[in-house]
Structure 1
Amino acid sequence: MNIKEILNQSEGRRLEFKAELPEHSDLAKTVVAFANDAGGDLYIGVADDPREVVGLDEDKLVTIEEKISNIIFDRCYPAILPEIKFISEENKHLIQVTVFRGSTPPYYLKEKGKLQGTFIRVGSANRLADEAIISELERRRRNISFDSEVIPDKPVNDLNIDGFKAIFKEKTGEELSDQALRKLDLVKDMQGAEYPTNALILFSDDPLRNSLFHYAKVECARFKGVSIDDFIDQKSITTNIATQAEEAYNFVLRHINKGASVEGVYTVSRWEYPVKAIREAIRNAVVHRDYSLTGKDVKIAIYDDMVEITSPGLLPPSIDYAAMESRQSDARNKVIAPVFKRLGIIDQWGNGLKLIADEMKEYPNIELRWREVGLSFQVQFVRLDYVLNAERIKDIQQELQQELQQELQQELQQELQKATLYSEVLRCIVSNALSRQDISLALGQKKVSGQLNKVIQKLIANNLIERTIPEKPNHPAQKFRLTERGQLFLGLLAK
Structure 2
Amino acid sequence: MQFLPEELQNAIPRMRLIGADTQRYEVKTARKALPESIPETISAFANRDGGTIILGLEEKNNFSTVSDFDADRIHDALLRIGSDFTPPCRLEIERYPFEDGEIVVAVVEPAPLDQRPCFITRKGLRYGAYIRTGDGDKRLTDYEIDRLWEFHQHPAFDRQPVCEASMSDLDASILDAIVERNREITPRVFGKMDRNEILLRLGAIAPDSSGKFVPTLAGLLVAGTYPQQFFPRLNITFTVYPGVTKAQVDGIRYIDTQPVNGSIPEMMMSSLELLRKHMNKGALIQGALRRDVTDYPILACREAIINALQHRDYSPDGLGSQVQINLFADRLEILNPGGLYGAASFNSLPRGISATRNTRLSQLLEYTPYVEEDGTSGYVIENRGTGLQQIEQELKDALMPQADLKDYVSAFQITFFKRRLSEDERQEKSWINFEAALLAELKKRGSMSVAAIMESSGFTRNTVSARLRSLRERGVIEGIEKAKSPKQRYRLTGKDPN
Report TM bin, short chain.
0.5 to 0.7
Q: Which of 278, 281, 297 in structure 1 is aligned with 2:322?
A: 297
Q: Is the 8 A contact 1:298 1:311 kept in 2?
A: yes
Residue identity (%): 22
Q: Partners in 1 of 2:314 and 2:61 — Cα distance?
A: 39
Measured after TM superposition, the shift of residue 219 of structure 1 is 0.8
Letter of the structure 2 residue corresponding to residue 109 of structure 1: I
TM-score, length-scaled by structure 1? 0.65
1:44 partnered with 2:55:
yes
Partner residue of 1:20?
30
Q: Is the 8 A contact 1:121 1:127 kept in 2?
A: yes
Partner residue of 1:139?
150
Measured after TM superposition, the shift of residue 302 of structure 1 is 1.9
Q: Partners in 2 of 1:318 and 1:11 — Cα distance?
A: 27
Q: Which of 216, 224, 229 in structure 1 is aligned with 2:242?
A: 224
Alpha-carbon distance change, 94 to 272 in structure 1, aligned in 2, over 3 angstroms: same
Secondary structure, aligned partner of 1:84: strand
Q: Partners in 2 of 1:39 and 1:270 — Cα distance?
A: 40
1:17-76 Cα deviation digits (max 9, x unpaired): 333388665222222333334443333334556763536878x434323322433423x2
Alpha-carbon distance change, 40 to 336 in structure 1, aligned in 2, over 3 angstroms: farther
Partner residue of 2:462?
392
**Larger Rg computed on CA atoms:** 2
5 Å-filtered alignment, 1:79-118, equals 79-90=88-99, 92-102=102-112, 103-118=114-129
TM-score, length-scaled by structure 2? 0.65
RMSD: 4.1
Of the structure 1 ranges 40-49 and 105-114, higher mean CA displacement relative to structure 2 is found in 40-49
Q: Is the 8 A contact 1:31 1:99 kept in 2?
A: no
Alpha-carbon distance change, 29 to 209 in structure 1, aligned in 2, over 3 angstroms: farther
Letter of the structure 2 residue corresponding to residue 288 of structure 1: H
Alpha-carbon distance change, 101 to 374 in structure 1, aligned in 2, over 3 angstroms: closer
Alpha-carbon distance change, 129 to 273 in structure 1, aligned in 2, over 3 angstroms: closer
Partner residue of 2:482?
none
In the alignment of these two chains, the number of paired residues is 392
Letter of the structure 2 residue corresponding to residue 100 of structure 1: P
Measured after TM superposition, the shift of residue 140 of structure 1 is 1.4
Letter of the structure 2 residue corresponding to residue 383 of structure 1: K
Of the structure 1 ranges 46-55 and 25-34, higher mean CA displacement relative to structure 2 is found in 46-55
Alpha-carbon distance change, 362 to 262 in structure 1, aligned in 2, over 3 angstroms: closer
Q: Is the 8 A contact 2:226 2:262 kept in 1?
A: no
Letter of the structure 1 residue corresponding to residue 196 of structure 2: D
5 Å-filtered alignment, 1:192-211, equals 198-200=217-219, 202-203=221-222, 205=224, 210-211=229-230
Unaligned runs of 5+ in 1: 398-495
Of the structure 1 ranges 363-372 and 251-260, higher mean CA displacement relative to structure 2 is found in 363-372
1:376 partnered with 2:386:
no
Q: Partners in 2 of 1:296 and 1:254 — Cα distance?
A: 25
Q: Partners in 1 of 2:342 and 2:65 — Cα distance?
A: 30
1:72-121 Cα deviation digits (max 9, x unpaired): 423x2233333333344555423123132233234333333333333334
Partner residue of 1:352?
387
Letter of the structure 2 residue corresponding to residue 313 of structure 1: G
1:458-489 Cα deviation digits (max 9, x unpaired): xxxxxxxxxxxxxxxxxxxxxxxxxxxxxxxx
Unaligned runs of 5+ in 2: 184-194, 369-378, 422-453, 468-498
Secondary structure, aligned partner of 1:284: helix
Of the structure 1 ranges 274-283 and 167-176, higher mean CA displacement relative to structure 2 is found in 167-176
1:215 partnered with 2:223:
no
Q: Partners in 1 of 2:464 and 2:287 — Cα distance?
A: 41
Q: Partners in 2 of 1:216 and 1:32 — Cα distance?
A: 33
Q: Partners in 2 of 1:63 and 1:325 — Cα distance?
A: 42
1:309 partnered with 2:334:
yes
1:68 partnered with 2:75:
no
